Structure 1
Amino acid sequence: MSDLEHLPGHLIRRLQQISVSLFTARMGEAGLDLTSVQFAALMTLRDHPGLDQKTLAGLIAYDRVTIAGVIDRLEQKGLVERQTSPTDRRARVLTLTEDGRSMLVRAAPWVDLVQEDILSALSSEERAGFTALLGKMTTEGNELSRAPLRPSPVTD
């Protein structure tokens, strides 16, 4: 059996814990009540206004059932609105509010700091290589996920 500290899966899980901890700490420092998943949802809605929950979940590779709670919390905070779809009265579409846009502007520099925090132990060359490898691994393993990333059907 391999040493736990040399198993990629264990190290990835630990890095995820560290990433979430750093994000939470930086948002607390900024005085912002925002999780990394909420930030991803807000960014995606900024870039693709009028998405439904299912499409949003696919674009941020998040579980369709759990995204409902994320959207509920964003709506309670006044950052997102749900409206009846103009093309399907049964569907609800999501848009950012002005407060949601403002939150993104306030959070952005802090999110940049989180990225620096995460990569701080690496040289700039190592950072580029590490990020490229992470991208390759997540792209190649996408369909193995419980919540695979789904490209946007939305045309810009």
Structure 2
Amino acid sequence: MSQRSAAHLQRSVIHLLRRVDQCATQLYSTETADSDLTLRQLAILTAISRQENLSQTDLVSITGIDRSTVAGIVSRLIRKGLLERKRSPLDGRAYCVRLSKRGAKVIAGADRLYSRVEKKLLAGVPAAEAIQFVSTLKAILSVHTDEQSGAPA
């Protein structure tokens, strides 16, 4: 790769975000070597732990994971005994999901896990810059999710 190409990649927001995502995924994998939960599965479980009676459509909106992937993740988590499906209390034709007792135990340490991974990911970044980084990420997401009613662009 030429120096010019390498320099361009080091200025490319898209490339840098993809690389940071790779780092975050690797750190998560290292921290959870004894677990078989993926980051997306953990995101689904975390969303459900924070709000009861979520439909799969709600999970798509909250997590930004596409509909078909959410459906597959929910099915796998039900098979693992971490989620239960039940009729929606708001619409008897629809279903929602909730944590099983086993799922609640699994998710109990999620906040600590997220904190450990984020601390390692942001190691070496001054606190003020880390706060600004999170704020900037939220601003970017806000612009691009508001355009399409909650679905990432």
TM bucket, shorter chain: 0.7 to 0.9
Identity in percent: 28
Distance 2:147 2:23 in 1: 23
- The answer on whether the counterparts of 2:60 and 2:70 sit within 8 Å (CA) in structure 1 is yes
Task: Give the corresponding residue for 1:110.
Answer: 113
Deviations 1:67-91 (A, max 9, x none): 0111011111111011223444432
SS in 1 for 2:85: strand
- The answer on whether the counterparts of 1:80 and 1:100 sit within 8 Å (CA) in structure 2 is yes
1:52 aligns with 2:55: yes
- The answer on whether the counterparts of 2:60 and 2:151 sit within 8 Å (CA) in structure 1 is no
- The answer on whether the counterparts of 1:83 and 1:93 sit within 8 Å (CA) in structure 2 is yes
Higher relative contact order (CA 8 A, sep 6+): 1
Deviations 1:117-144 (A, max 9, x none): 1111201111111111111111122256
> For the structure 1 residues 88 and 132, does the alpha-carbon distance in structure 2 shift closer, same or farther, using more than 3 Å as the test?
closer
Distance 2:21 2:42 in 1: 16
SS in 2 for 1:137: helix
Aligned residues: 146
Runs of 5+ unmatched residues, structure 1: 150-156
Distance 2:147 2:89 in 1: 35
Q: Decide which moves more: 118-127 or 78-87.
A: 78-87
Structural RMSD (CA)? 2.0
